[in-house]
Amino acid sequence: MKNILIRSGMSPLDTFDPAHIMLNNSIGGNVGNLIYAYSVYRTLTTEGVTITPDYYKIDHTKADEINEKYDCYIIPLADAFREDFRPSLRKYTKLFKKLKIPVVIVGVGLRAPFEPKLDEGFPFDEDVKAFVNAALERSSIIGLRGEITSKYLTKLGFREGIDHTVIGCPSMYTFGREINIRDTNITKDSKIAFNNSKLSPKNVLDFMQRNIDEYPNHYFIPQWMSELRLTYLGSPDLKNPTDNYPCSNSEEIYKDNRVRYFLNAYTWIDFLKNVDFSFGLRLHGNITSTIAGTPSILIPKDARMRELASYHNLTSVWAGDITEETNIKTLVEEADFHSPEKSQAANFDNYIDFLNKNGVNHIYEQDKNRKDAPFDALVSKVEKLPPVTPINGCTTDEAVHRWSRFHDLTEAKNLRAKKQASNKHKSEINKKNKRIKWLEGTMNRKSVRVALKTANLFSSK
């Protein structure tokens, strides 16, 4: 496979600035998507292979073009089996049915409550069935994020080990077969990174705020697109504000310049390599810590996080177990930060076996323990944009630059949209005019035939 098309909003080799990312949704709404994409690019970039992002475009009318230009379509997904992703599932199903090249689903999961009621089914079941069936027409087996999703597909009639297999999240295999997490000793002066979700239960939000205050040298790493906008532009505030979660740049953590929003995987990983401890409710926020070798604790709040935490043995504490007495110091003292290391080799081997079954070339074909990758040389030549810091701490010139840049790109995008709409309108008018002329011609021809027939009728008399 020389030319691979991959589902991603941007390549790790792209250097999109915050304004571009916001206006084009290059992170799919959550910057965590960049982490597992980075891993797939690194694993599949062998000598002579070119990987092209599809920039999240799904268009069945482009099937012939895709068949002609690419040898394979790699589709890494997160919790795509969910209500608001149904339109995309349907688009993919329609596209898959027109493709002739292999399609490989690299990690897809179910979005459901922490204790999912699989027997009751979900409104999107039929869309998932159609999607999986279409994907299996173009692949050998589908890779799933965890056991809960596996049980879900099995209940829908798909065969475990034949139609689908659990591979976990590709992000855990970013640097290969081994993970080495260092030991840590937390003090009041420790550098702490934390991630959070506004949708977390109140007891967890209270716990997060209570413990953050105990460690002054902390950094908040948000992941939502709305938080990139808040950090970069200063507004608007997050909708439906919640106690103990920073929803405005008037919050202390923004005013104190303690927020870092990363625009690429490598600066995120490098930052966390220099942190003493990381914790929170973001799956990829904590997986990034894990592959960086930094001790971290994940707080799973739903089935999608729970199944991955279990499969990868991520150091975790259940949200329901957090009380008013729970504190970071005790959790750190009791935690086994090396637990992800214990299952990494077996999980990695299973992932490689999955790629092999689908005929996907990768850098580990000759040596499963390989450390280097051709992709590393490509990344070394790319300008690495630093994380976005709160606009509160910017100089006036920097703030003006941010607003101007966003305004200029917005205007340019609106102008393009108007031109496209105008061209589409003109095209539709031209089609209508051609149709009218054709109908007029048809009518005229019919009129002539009727007239001749009538004339012949009278002349015969």
Residue-by-residue pLDDT tens, the chain, 461 positions:
699 999 999 999 999 999 999 999 999 999 999 999 999 999 999 999 999 999 999 999 999 999 999 999 999 999 999 999 999 999 999 999 999 999 999 999 999 999 999 999 999 999 999 999 999 999 999 999 999 999 999 999 999 999 999 999 999 999 999 999 999 989 999 999 999 999 999 999 999 999 898 999 999 999 999 999 999 999 999 999 998 999 999 999 999 999 999 999 999 999 999 999 999 999 999 999 999 999 999 999 999 999 999 999 999 999 999 999 999 999 999 999 999 999 999 999 999 999 999 999 999 999 999 999 999 999 999 999 999 999 999 999 999 999 999 999 999 999 999 988 888 777 767 776 776 666 556 556 655 565 556 556 545 55
Same domain, residue pair 124 and 227: no
Same domain, residue pair 359 and 262: no
Contacts (Cβ under 8 Å, ≥6 apart) of 30: 223, 224, 225, 284
DSSP-derived letter for residue 276 is: S
Same domain, residue pair 244 and 354: no
| In a domain? residue 80 | yes
Rounded distance between C-alpha atoms, residue 408 and residue 310, angstroms: 46
Residue count of the chain, please give it: 461
What is the number of domains present in the chain? Answer: 3
Token representation of residue 220: 């908040």
Phi, then psi, of 8 in degrees rounded to 5: -165, 150
Same domain, residue pair 243 and 112: no
Same domain, residue pair 213 and 235: yes
Domain boundary among 326, 341, 356: 341
| In a domain? residue 394 | no
Q: Are the C-beta atoms of residues 164 and 141 closer than 8 Å to each other? A: yes
Same domain, residue pair 238 and 351: no
Domain boundary among 287, 320, 341: 341
| In a domain? residue 390 | no
| In a domain? residue 224 | yes
pLDDT of res. 213: 87
What b/e sequence results for 349-374 when a residue is b if at least 16 CB atoms lie within 10 Å of its CB, and e otherwise?
ebbbebbeebebbbbbeeeeeeeebe
| In a domain? residue 183 | no
Domain boundary among 341, 361, 376: 341
Same domain, residue pair 326 and 418: no
Domain that holds residue 443: 408-461
pLDDT of res. 430: 74
Same domain, residue pair 200 and 148: no
CB atoms within 10 A of CB 411: 10
Half-sphere exposure of 366 (CA within 13 A, CB side): 5
Residue-by-residue DSSP string for 329-368: HHHHHH--TTHHHHHHHHHHHHHHHHHHHTT---TTSS-T
CATH number of the domain bearing residue 266: 3.40.50
| In a domain? residue 187 | no
Our CA dihedral for 82, 84, 89, 91, rounded to 10 degrees, sits at: 180
Contacts (Cβ under 8 Å, ≥6 apart) of 103: 72, 73, 75, 96, 135, 138, 139
Same domain, residue pair 205 and 302: yes
Same domain, residue pair 238 and 365: no
| In a domain? residue 375 | yes
| In a domain? residue 400 | no
Grouping H, G, I as helix, E, B as strand and the rest as coil, residue 4 is strand
Same domain, residue pair 160 and 235: no
Q: What is the pTM of this model?
A: 0.90
Same domain, residue pair 8 and 143: yes
